[in-house]
Amino acid sequence: MVPQEDLAFWIAFSHIRGVGPVRFQKLREFFGNAREAFYASEKALQEAVGEAVAGLVVSARRNLEPEKLQEEVEKDNLKVLTIEDKGYPLLLKNTYRPPFLLYLKGDFDFARFERYLAMVGTRSPTPYGRKVARMLAQDLSEHFVIVSGLALGIDGEVHRAVVECGGITIGVLGNGLRRVYPTSHFRLACEIIEKGGVLVSEYPPAVEPRPENFPPRNRIISGLSQGVIVVEAPRRSGAMITASFALEEGREVMAVPGSIFSPQSEGTNLLVAEGAKLVQNAQDVYEAFGLLGEKKEQEETPEEMGLSEKERYLLSLIDHQGKFKEELLELTAWPEGEFFQILLTLEMKGLVGEMWGGKVVRV
C-alpha cells in the first residue's frame, strides 16, 4: 500500500507523458519513493532513467503541483488505485506492464467478483451485430462482470444491455474521467455507476480523448478480463487490437461469426479461422470456461417456468444450433397464427432468439 503522503506524487507522475509503468518503477527503485523521484535533481534523474526521460520530468514538473492534483481528483469524486494497493485488480496486475495507477469513478471492489469477461466490437455495427451483442451481454452478465470500452456501436449496446437487466459492467475510457466520451453516452455512464459498475481510466482526469490513447485503453479492457468476445469487427480495428492483447496474455479469445459479405465480420471470421472459440450463444462461452454444468444446474426447467404444454413442445424442438421458422412450423403442424403467437411468447420470456440468417435458437 502506498503511503498517503506519497500518493500525490504517484498522481503527479501519471500526468507526465513518457513516464509509463517501467520508467516509473525505475524511478521508485532508484530514489526509494515517488516523492524523492519527483524532486530529484536533473543529474540524478539522468542516472536513473537517462537524459531524455529526465528532461521530460524536469520540464513537466514545473507546471505540476502534486498536492493540488490530488485535491482535484478528490473534487472530481474519483478513487485512485495504485498497483501496490490491495484493491488493484489481480487479473490486470498479472499482465505485461500494467498501469501503475488507475482512476475509478464509482464504488467498486474488484475482489468482490470472480469472473470478468470483455465484449468489444465495431463502432458501426449491423442490426445483426447489435442484436447479438445485446443477447450475449444479457445472458452472460448473470455469471460475469462485463467489461467494454463505452464506445459507440457494440460497446454501447453491451453496456446498455447489461444495465437494463441489472448486471454489473465496467467501462474503460481512453480519456480522463472528468468527462464522458462520447458525450452521447453520459447517461449510460451514470447508469453503469448507479447499478454498481465503474468507469476506469489510466489517464488523469482532464486528459482529452486522443487517437493514441485507445490502443493502451484496449490492453486494460483485455487485462481486466479472463476472456474477450469480439462481436463484429473489421480486420483493422480497436476490437482486433483488444483480441491481440488477450492472445498475448493467454486469455480466452472468442468471436461471433458473421456474413462473408459484411466488412464488419471480416475480423471476427478471421479470428475463428485462426482458432478463436466460435460463439453463437451463451452456452458456447460457458463451455469455454468449464461452466456449462454449473449453468445447467442453475437453470430452471420449462415446467418450473410455468410454460404451457405447447410452449414446452416448441421449446423442445429448438436447440442451440437453431432451426428456421418454416421448419419449426412444419414440425408442429400448427395453424400459422398459433405458431407465431407461441414463438413470440418464448422470445418474450427470453428462451429463444432469432439469429442472423433467420434461424431461431435456444438461448
Judge if 158 and 201 occupy the same domain. Answer: yes
> Is 182 within a domain?
yes
Same domain, 135 and 282: yes
Q: What are phi and psi of 64, to 5 degrees?
A: -115, 130
Say if 76 falls within a structural domain: no
The residue whose grid cell reads 481528483 is 73
pLDDT value at residue 111: 93
What DSSP character marks residue 301?
A: P
135 found inside a domain: yes
54 and 166 share one domain: no
| Domain shared by 221 and 352, yes or no | no
| Rg from Cα positions in the chain | 24
Cross-strand pairs, 83: none
Residues 61 and 168 in one domain: no
**pLDDT value at residue 295:** 52
Check residue 294 and give its pLDDT. Answer: 53
Q: Are 42 and 65 in contact (CB under 8 A)?
A: no
Verify that 305 and 350 share a domain, yes or no. Answer: yes
Low-confidence ranges of the chain (pLDDT < 50): 296-297, 303-304
Q: Identify the burial level of 298 via C-beta atoms within 10 angstroms of its C-beta, where 0-12 means exposed, 13-18 middle and 19 or more buried.
A: exposed
pLDDT at 361: 83
Residues 176 and 262 in one domain: yes
**Domain ends where: 295, 316, 338?**
295
Closest CA to 325 of 346, 297, 296: 346
Q: Count the neighbouring beta carbons within 10 Å of the beta carbon of residue 93.
A: 14
Do 157 and 239 fall within a single domain?
Answer: yes
| Residues 224, 239: Cα–Cα separation, whole Å | 15
Q: Is residue 9 part of a domain?
A: yes
The reply to whether 183 and 318 lie within a common domain is: no
Domain extent at residue 47: 1-71
Q: How far is CA 60 from CA 9, 139, 262, in A?
A: 13, 47, 47
Query: Is residue 88 in some structural domain?
Result: no
pTM over 0.85: no
**CATH code at 351?**
1.10.10.10
Check which CATH number belongs to the domain holding 60 and give it: 1.10.150
Residues 234, 137 within the same domain: yes
Main-chain dihedrals φ then ψ at residue 287, nearest 5 degrees: -65, -40
Provide the pairing of β-strand 352-354 with 145-148: unpaired
Q: Is residue 271 part of a domain?
A: yes
In a domain, 77, yes or no: no
How many independent structural domains does the chain possess? 3
Domain final residue, candidates 46, 71, 96: 71
* The pLDDT value given to residue 293: 56
Question: For residue 210, what is the domain's CATH number?
Answer: 3.40.50.450
Q: Are residues 61 and 158 in the same domain?
A: no
Query: What is the rounded distance in angstroms from the CA atom of residue 324 to the CA atom of residue 78?
Result: 50
- Closest Cα to residue 104, out of 200, 196, 205, 197? 200
Q: Kindly state whether residue 305 falls inside one of the protein's structural domains.
A: yes
What pLDDT score does 356 carry? 58
pLDDT score at 93:
96
Q: Which of 295, 327, 344 is the last residue of a domain?
A: 295
- Distance, in Å, from the CA atom of 250 to the CA atom of 255, rounded to the nearest integer, reads 16
b vs e for 113-131, b when ≥16 Cβ sit within 10 Å of the residue's Cβ? eeebbbbbbbbebbebbbb
Classify residue 229 by its DSSP letter: E
Rounded CA separation 76/363 (Å): 41
| Shared-domain flag, residues 5 and 41 | yes
